Structure 1
Amino acid sequence: MVAKIQVTGLRDFQRQLKAMDAGLPKQLRLALNEASKVVVDHAAARMPSRTGRAKASLKARSTQRTARVALGGNRAPYAPWLDFGGEGRRKGRPAARPFIKAGRYVYPALDVKRDQVTEIMSEALTQLARDAGFEVG
């Protein structure tokens, strides 16, 4: 399951920003990270913790056109299992955990915070357009 918030025209907007000033697309990426961070914070607050590595593995990641939430990695390879469940019978993991396709933490956090993410993105894109000299109505 991939939950998306799509901004129509973002690719063209990013190209225009780059044509005006090479540093502006970086600001766009930072705005996407800020929106992702809202989801990360909400999910991390609800994730169980023994060592804190699974919570620490939740990261906001973005490119100039995409925002993502990363979970797991080398320090907490079990983190996706915590969120989605599954077989679990591997070294270092407890018994099976019921599989939930929509997850327990990340996707529900996006569902809860969708309006706030949309608002952050809207404000950031509007401000970025103003900074670039676009007329915003």
Structure 2
Amino acid sequence: MVAKIHVSGLREFQAQLRAMDAGLPRQLRLALNAAAEEIIDYAEPRFPRRSGRAARSLKARSTQRVARIALGGRAAPYAPWLDFGGEGRIKGRPSKRPFIREGRYVYKGLEVRRDRVTEIMSDALAQLARDAGLEVS
């Protein structure tokens, strides 16, 4: 399951920002990262801990159009298994963990904090438009 929040006209908004000031689309990426951080703030303390590497592996990795959260990587390649479950692929480890398609932590964070994420994005886009000299209603 990929949960999405769709903003209509984002591509056009980004193009208009770029036409006014080349630095404004970068601020759009930072706004998306702020929304992703809200979800990370929910998920990180809920991740199981032994060393804490899986929880620390949660990173906002947004583009100018898409908010993303990366987890795992070389430091904690098992982090997706902690979140979603499934069968371990290395003999004896990790053991089988019930598979939950919606995940236990990250997507749950979006579900729980959707209103706050929407508010962060709305405020950030409005402020970005004001900074660009556009009228916001």
Q: TM-score, normalised by structure 1?
A: 0.97
Partner of 2:12: 12
Q: Is the 2:87–2:94 Cα contact (8 Å) retained in structure 1?
A: no
- Give aligned pairs, total: 137
Amino acid aligned to 1:15: A
- Give a deviation string over 1:63-121, Cα, whole Å, max 9, x none: 00110111110110000000000011416833100000000000001000000000000
Gaps of at least 5 residues in structure 1 are none
* Correspondence 1:50 to 2:50: yes
Q: How does 1:109-128 map to 2 (within 5 A)?
A: 109-128=109-128
Matched residue, 2:38: 38
Give the 3 Å change call, closer, same or farther, for CA 91–71 of structure 1 in structure 2: farther
Across the aligned residues of Structure 1 and Structure 2, the Cα RMSD in angstroms comes to 1.1
Identity of aligned residues (%): 72
Distance in structure 2 (CA, Å) of the matches to 1:16 and 1:72? 36
Looking at structure 1, the residues matched to 127 and 37 of structure 2 have their Cα atoms a distance apart, in angstroms, of: 19
Would you say the 8 A contact 1:89–1:96 is kept in 2?
no
In the TM superposition, 1:17-96 aligns within 5 A as 17-90=17-90, 93-96=93-96
Residue 45 of structure 1 and its aligned partner are, at CA, apart by 1.2
Q: Cα distance 1:3–1:121, how it changes in 2: closer, same or farther (>3 A)?
A: same
Q: In the alignment, is the contact (CA less than 8 A) between 1:46 and 1:105 conserved in 2?
A: yes
Deviation, structure 1 residue 124: 0.3
Moved more, 121-130 or 80-89: 80-89
TM-score by length of 2: 0.97
Any runs of at least 4 consecutive aligned residues in structure 1 with deviations exceeding 3 A, and if so which? Answer: none
Q: Which runs of no fewer than 5 residues in structure 2 stay unpaired? A: none
